[in-house]
A and B are shown apart, each in its own frame.
Chain A
Amino acid sequence: MDFEAAVARHQRQVYTFAHYFLASREEAEDVTQEVLLRLWRQGDRIDGAMLGPWLMRVTRNACYDLLRRRRAGGGFLGVGSSHRPRQEDQERRASGAGVDPMENLASAEPDPEQRAQSADFARRLRQALQELPEPYRSVLIMREIEELQYQEISEALEIPLNTVRVHIHRGRQKLRDRMRQEVPHAAVG
């Protein structure tokens, strides 16, 4: 396995999942670094075709471990619960350093009011996603944001294909329910 080539190909997938799963840039960086180190240690034992699913599985497990540590440290809540971003992220955001690209998501909207509505909708959507319990959060991130195929999600999470379909269906329903509670008329025109 060419370690550098594997990192170049998969770093985005790993970091994106950790970022949306943990809702913390700092922690996503920690998880990514840890996953890449595991890739360095064990990459030679992984079949090249299974490297992507293996990385996603390792990333999710690393996120779980981090949430457990977060909970054990008297910090925020874990899987299936809402939680605040870490103090470092809040400070970084306040100082304007390392601005999250998602903050500017709606900048392409021509109308300022529409832009504000879209930004607000995106923020609420991310919040609702972070409040989703597992495994719905994982499968929705993989399916909707990373646009993985059902088969790839099935291999990554080591669950049957039909289970993936059910999880995605229920996850979408739960997300809609939360959005409906959050924004009674959530639709953006």
Chain B
Amino acid sequence: MPRSVERFDCAGALALLEPHLDGELSPAEQARLATHLGSCPACAEELRLAGDVRHGLRALPELDCPPEVLARAFAAAVRESAMPGAPPAARQAEGRQRFRRLGRRWRSRLEGLSRHLPSWRLPHLTPAARIAAVCAALLVAILIVRWPHREPPAPSPEEMARATREARFALAYVDQVSRRAALRLRDQVLERHLVLPAARDLSRSLQETLGADPDLARRIPPRSDVAERDRS
């Protein structure tokens, strides 16, 4: 927006309001603006409003994020970094740095170790070759020691989900079989081999008792009446 106008009217003055508030006007422009504002109440009012708005906005405070929100963000980041699967960039970078540190540490150790190797055994090897030889020996030793106890790789989430489904199915199947077995036990074993023989024995002994005492037989209601009463 051009600051210098030939005819310094209200439009020209309004164009200078913001540069004036920003302190960007030259002394000449400042003087022309002041002259115009002295004779134009509308522009003076506009400048006053612009100043108030500017001041009001700048008086609005910058706000600190509540600590609990930051704590939640940190916790979520930590949770995320602990999740299996593709690690975030930060975790990858941290892993790379840790790997490099580990590499440097082991390299210095191996170099120290190579210097103490008896020279008559490896007479013509350079330090690098000595390190390689030591690494190879260590690798072989690790393979020998760890081979029988090597742990299987961790299952993937899909494998875990499938195994969970299969385990649930197996448990449900076992539950069903158990219920059937229990029912069969009740029906076949208890009823056939325990309840029915006991009932028969009881019935026989009752008949013998009742046969010996006709008065008692008259006092006891018939079996159909007892069943009717139990149902009611």
A interface, CB within 8 angstroms of B: 1, 3-4, 7, 11-16, 19-20, 29, 32-33, 36-37, 40-45, 98, 101-102, 105, 121-122, 125-126, 129, 140, 144-147, 169, 172, 175-176, 179-180, 186-188
Contacts and interface: CB of A to CB of B under 8 A. Distances in A.
Nearest to B48: A187
B144 interface: no
A1 B88 CA distance: 13
Contact of A29 (B45, B65, B93): B65
A41 B89 contact: yes
Contact of A179 (B53, B76, B80): B53
A129 B63 CA distance: 17
A146 B65 contact: no
Contacts of A105: 59-61
Q: Interface residue tally of chain B, by bracket?
A: 35 or more
21 contacts: A1-B90, A7-B70, A13-B62, A16-B63, A19-B63, A32-B69, A33-B72, A37-B80, A40-B77, A41-B88, A44-B89, A44-B93, A121-B56, A125-B56, A126-B60, A144-B57, A147-B58, A169-B1, A172-B53, A175-B53, A187-B45
Contact of B52 (A13, A44, A169, A186): A186
Max chain B Cβ within 10 angstroms of own Cβ: one of A1, A41, A42, A43: A41
A33 B64 contact: no
- Overall SS of chain B's interface: helix
B89 A33 contact: no
B63 A15 contact: yes
Contacts of B1: 169
B73 interface: yes
A73 B122 CA distance: 76
A40 B90 contact: yes
B90 A172 contact: no
A125 B89 contact: no
B56 A40 contact: no
A29 to B, nearest CB: 5
A44 B90 contact: yes
